[in-house]
């Protein structure tokens, strides 16, 4: 029986790497799949891993209809054994419903990869629906670390060096290079957006690595690194 599976974890936990590895493993066994993404930091229609791996993908914007796409492809004689759906947190509730329908009625395996909560610590729309519908939800075992060394569980959005907890839900940024950061919709200035993973305590206190260094809480964010 086909299944709808959801693999989740914070940023830097290897979700896109696992998505690409899963696609590679299945394709190498002769299975035919489709790779989807939405708002990847590398640009449209691309799945990118922080390890440097990339793969062409189909951009699943808010108006993309998974069910119609699949039915049309099968009607035209295409073979589809599985879907790889990266950045699934950005999918709409309706799109997750479509993926569940594809699993149940067309017997196509669907593997979704995404973050559970946004920078406000609220569930993403797509992730919330996946938790409700998925046959299985698995937390990735690759742990990401807060600057203090504790397990990171939350994403912090940083605009021009300042952590924020309000604003547009979807703003693409980067966790490593500020020059690759995104811009805030509707903002007139050159605001640069980056992201940092934090433990719950330091997310609540809005204490990023830069701020911790500024107040001399730790000379080195990861003293054992």
Q: State the Cα–Cα distance between residues 105 and 149, nearest whole angstrom.
A: 46
Interior CA angle at 71 toward 69 and 74, to 5°? 105
Among this protein's residues, is 125 annotated catalytic?
no
SS3 214: helix
3-state secondary structure at position 11: coil
Q: Which listed residue (3, 59, 87, 166) is catalytic? A: 87
139 near 146, Cβ under 8 Å? no
On whether the CB atoms of residues 162 and 172 are closer than 8 A, the answer is no
With beta carbons less than 8 A apart as the criterion, state whether 223 and 149 touch: yes
At 117, give phi and psi (nearest 5°). -120, 155
Task: Give φ, ψ of 202 to 5 degrees.
Answer: -80, -25
195 sits in which H/E element: strand 193-198
Residues noted as catalytic: 87
């Amino acid at each position: 029986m086909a299944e709808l599976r959801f693999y989740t974890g914070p940023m830097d936990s290897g979700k896109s790497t696992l998505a690409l590895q899963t696609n590679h493993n299945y394709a190498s066994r002769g299975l035919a799949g489709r790779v989807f993404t939405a708002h990847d930091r590398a640009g449209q229609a691309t799945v990118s891993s922080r390890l440097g791996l990339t793969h062409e993908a189909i951009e699943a914007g808010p108006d993309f209809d998974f069910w119609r796409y699949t039915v049309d492809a099968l009607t035209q004689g295409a073979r589809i054994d599985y879907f790889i759906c990266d950045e699934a947190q950005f999918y709409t509730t309706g799109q997750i419903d479509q993926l569940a329908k594809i699993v149940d009625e067309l017997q196509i395996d669907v593997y979704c990869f995404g973050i559970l909560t946004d920078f406000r610590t609220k569930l993403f729309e797509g992730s919330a629906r996946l938790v409700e519908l998925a046959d299985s939800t698995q937390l990735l075992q690759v742990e990401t670390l807060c600057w203090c060394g504790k397990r990171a569980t939350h994403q912090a959005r940083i605009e021009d060096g300042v952590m924020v907890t309000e604003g547009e839900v979807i703003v693409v940024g980067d966790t490593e290079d500020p020059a690759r950061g995104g811009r805030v919709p509707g903002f007139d200035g050159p605001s640069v957006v980056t992201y940092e993973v934090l433990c719950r305590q330091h997310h609540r206190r809005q204490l990023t690595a830069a701020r911790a260094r500024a107040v001399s809480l730790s000379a080195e964010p990861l003293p054992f690194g």
